[in-house]
């Protein structure tokens, strides 16, 4: 498909970036776009003069034996979905453009990347931080847009941006959901029909803990127990972790103050789903 906005090399992306003065927003994605991605695109479009969307299934953030090979790749469809947003630059590089054979420099964010997803997916955030730092350097955006759906990813990127004095504002968009509460995810296509029916159990578990918080529950262990109790009602749900943590440090909380990040990773069949609520009093 001959598309003026679609570029695949770093040189082309830099040239396009240089052509257009004014504020640039970027939405980094792995493609297989859905309404969650598009909500970020819409916001970035409204808040900037120019808009870049990146589509790159980043091998560095997948574990060996993970779902890298079967991750959905739907570039033609993605470009069609982006059409209404008048994107100024779609950057969809090949692996070798981002990771040439002699590549050897990685960004390691330390403490905040260690618990939760970091504990379950060793090396994941090293891959995320590295590719995001590279995309920031290639595209030099004024603002970059990320989804609250990946709460720890947001925390890691904010930490990296502060620590490395990257001149970009990190903007966080709300999690977009199906009508039954399931958070939109490119991985939802892996769910067989019966699994898809079971998947909103994550949302319901988060709601149960949120309701307890709103009734005044301030014991972190009780909120974790409330999430587990709901998840246990679904035989297809296999819990990896449930967490009620300090949103600033991601440390598990016992006595809650005014803020808590409820989060979980749950396997439904072979598909690993994550979700979270950020609660503020």
Which residues of the shown chain bind ligand AMP in the complex (CB under 6 A)?
29-30, 36-37, 39-40, 146-147, 149-150, 173, 175-176, 183-186
Q: How many other C-beta atoms are found inside a 10 Å radius of the C-beta of residue 75?
A: 16
H/E stretch holding 47 reads: helix 35-47
3-state helix, strand, coil in the chain (%, to 5): 40, 20, 35
Q: Which is nearer to ligand AMP, 150 or 234 (CB)?
A: 150
Catalytically active residues are: 37
Considering just the CA atoms, what is the radius of gyration of the chain in Å? 19
Q: Please tell me the distance from the alpha carbon of residue 222 to that of residue 220, in angstroms, as a whole number.
A: 5
First-to-last C-alpha distance (Å) of the chain: 50
Q: Which is nearer to ligand AMP, 58 or 230 (CB)?
A: 58
Q: Which is nearer to ligand AMP, 188 or 253 (CB)?
A: 188
Q: Which is nearer to ligand AMP, 71 or 241 (CB)?
A: 71
Shortest distance (Å) from residue 199 CB to ligand AMP: 13
Q: Which is nearer to ligand AMP, 28 or 115 (CB)?
A: 28
Q: Which residue is nearest to ligand AMP (CB)?
A: 147
Shortest distance (Å) from residue 146 CB to ligand AMP: 4
Shortest distance (Å) from residue 175 CB to ligand AMP: 4
Q: Please tell me the distance from the alpha carbon of residue 18 to that of residue 61, in angstroms, as a whole number.
A: 29
Shortest distance (Å) from residue 128 CB to ligand AMP: 8
Shortest distance (Å) from residue 170 CB to ligand AMP: 10
Measured over the CA atoms of residue 77, residue 83, residue 84 and residue 87, the dihedral's sign is positive
SS (H, E, C) 82-131: HHHHCCCEEECCCHHHHCCCCCCCCCCCCHHHCCCHHHHCCCHHHHHHHH
Q: Please tell me the distance from the alpha carbon of residue 17 to that of residue 8, in angstroms, as a whole number.
A: 13
């Amino acid at each position: 498909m001959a598309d003026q906005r679609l570029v695949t090399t770093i040189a082309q992306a830099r040239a396009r970036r240089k052509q257009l003065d004014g504020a640039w927003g970027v939405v980094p994605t792995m493609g297989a776009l859905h309404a969650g991605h598009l909500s970020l695109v819409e916001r970035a479009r409204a808040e900037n003069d120019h808009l870049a969307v990146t589509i790159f299934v980043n091998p560095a953030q997948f574990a060996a034996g993970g779902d890298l090979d079967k991750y959905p790749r739907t570039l033609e469809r993605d470009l069609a979905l982006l059409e209404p947003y008048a994107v100024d630059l779609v950057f969809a590089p090949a692996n070798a453009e981002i990771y040439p054979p002699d590549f050897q420099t990685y960004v390691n964010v330390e403490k905040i990347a260690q618990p939760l997803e970091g504990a379950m997916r060793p090396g994941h955030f090293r891959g995320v931080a590295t590719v995001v730092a590279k995309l920031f350097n290639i595209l030099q955006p004024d603002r970059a847009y990320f989804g609250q759906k990946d709460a720890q990813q947001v925390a890691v990127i904010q930490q990296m941006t502060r620590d490395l004095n990257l001149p970009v504002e990190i903007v966080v968009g709300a999690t977009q959901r199906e009508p039954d509460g399931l958070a939109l995810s490119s991985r939802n296509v892996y769910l067989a029909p019966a699994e898809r029916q079971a998947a909103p159990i994550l949302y319901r578990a988060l709601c149960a803990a949120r309701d307890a918080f709103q009734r005044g529950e301030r014991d972190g262990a009780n909120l974790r127990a409330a999430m587990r109790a709901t998840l246990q009602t679904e035989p297809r749900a296999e819990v990896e972790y449930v967490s009620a943590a300090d949103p600033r440090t991601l440390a598990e909380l016992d006595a809650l103050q005014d803020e808590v990040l409820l989060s979980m990773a749950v396997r439904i069949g072979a598909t690993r789903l994550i979700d979270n609520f950020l609660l503020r009093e």
